[in-house]
A = this chain, B = another copy of it.
Amino acid sequence: MDLFITMLGTAASVPTAARGTSATLIARGGRRLLIDCGEGTQRQLLRSGLGLVDVDAILLTHLHGDHYLGLPGLLKTYSLRGRERPLPIVGPRGLGDLLGRLRPVIGRTPFAVEVVHTDGGTVWEDQAVVVEAFPTRHSVASVGYALVEDARPGAFDVATARALGVPEGPLFGVLQRGGEVELPGGGRVRPDQVLGPARAGRRAVVAGDTEPCDTTAAVARGASVLVHEASFQNEESARARDTHHSTAAEAGALARRAGVGLLVLTHLSPRCAPRELRREAEAEFPRVHVPRDFDQIEIPFPERGEPLVHRTRDGRVARADRAGAEAAATVVTHDL
């Protein structure tokens, strides 16, 4: 099942010509979760090539304007399009008050807006996947979000199944899904006889605005991708602490502790050159990507390889090709 993270807005606090304010889309199969919704997010969706998709839920990391000012416009547009499916909006305490204040601006919506307050815990569930909120450390109440897939059954050993007398056909599928089968000629085969060890699901973490914190490291342990803010460089580390943000190096150190597959930096200030942020993060951790808006990170199942970065230009996504991977890089970047 495909799993993509699309960086819809990577600017810190205020937009630039090249970067919108915070918004990240996680798409798994047909499900789409929008994490944060800075001003202009509806248009970033359109520009990304994904289109203005009906997201399944909106998850806010905290209630600063650069993370939610795109909500009224997005909700109004959904209204104009006649969306009827309820829209859960998850966020820290205060979210209900905020949406109440915005309600006269948003107007009536033909769909229900379901406000979900969280300071941690399961906030969304789908087939074999959950999203867990976890507390982070910012200047206001804040959470990060981790998408966590269930472990999958182990690889199916066809040769052994045949040797045990299982006929090819529906019984293969029952065993693959973890069921026990009765053979046509009598006798039973248990799934552990034909399945390898359970395989890890995927895990992707979007931390939001936060100081480096232990909880993030714990939740991101073994994640394929950690999207972490890097609002400052080393030379402004004191300011990072004052404002409850992180430096690129701190994000790198945290990614190293957590042993993630790929660190994606976001909440980028125009004061910091991307290459400098990358350099400082890479001093701590080797697998760093400093995205442009609309970059997509594809997360394959762990046994299929490392995350791939698909770079974009003018909203057209170039699907990265593993064969085109740069030597010795776990990050594949393709420019159109």
Contacts and interface: CB of A to CB of B under 8 A. Distances in A.
Interface of A: 13-17, 20-21, 39-40, 42-43, 46-47, 52, 65-66, 69-70, 72-73, 76-77, 80, 98, 101-102, 104-107, 315
Contacts of A42: 14-15, 39
A287 to B, nearest CB: 31
A58 to B, nearest CB: 16
Q: A20, A72, A104: which has the most chain B beta carbons within 10 Å?
A: A72
A70 B69 CA distance: 9
B70 A39 contact: yes
B69 A72 contact: yes
Contacts of A15: 40, 42-43, 46, 73
A65 B20 CA distance: 20
A315 B69 contact: no
A17 B47 contact: yes
A76 B65 contact: yes
A100 to B, nearest CB: 10
A307 to B, nearest CB: 26
Contacts of A102: 105
A170 to B, nearest CB: 46
A156 B20 CA distance: 52
A22 to B, nearest CB: 12
In order of increasing CB-CB distance, the 5 nearest A-B pairs are A40-B40, A39-B73, A15-B43, A17-B46, A14-B77
A77 B73 CA distance: 18
A20 B39 contact: no
A65 B40 CA distance: 13
A212 B73 CA distance: 27
A67 to B, nearest CB: 11
Contacts of A13: 80
24 contacts: A13-B80, A14-B42, A14-B52, A14-B80, A15-B40, A15-B42, A15-B43, A16-B43, A17-B46, A17-B315, A21-B73, A39-B39, A39-B42, A39-B69, A39-B70, A39-B73, A40-B40, A40-B43, A65-B72, A65-B106, A69-B72, A69-B73, A98-B105, A101-B104
A225 B73 CA distance: 30
A205 B263 CA distance: 51
Contacts of A46: 15-17
Given A15-B43, A16-B46, 10 more contacts: A15-B40, A15-B46, A17-B43, A17-B46, A39-B40, A39-B69, A39-B70, A65-B106, A69-B72, A98-B105
A236 B65 CA distance: 38
Contacts of A76: 14, 65-66, 69
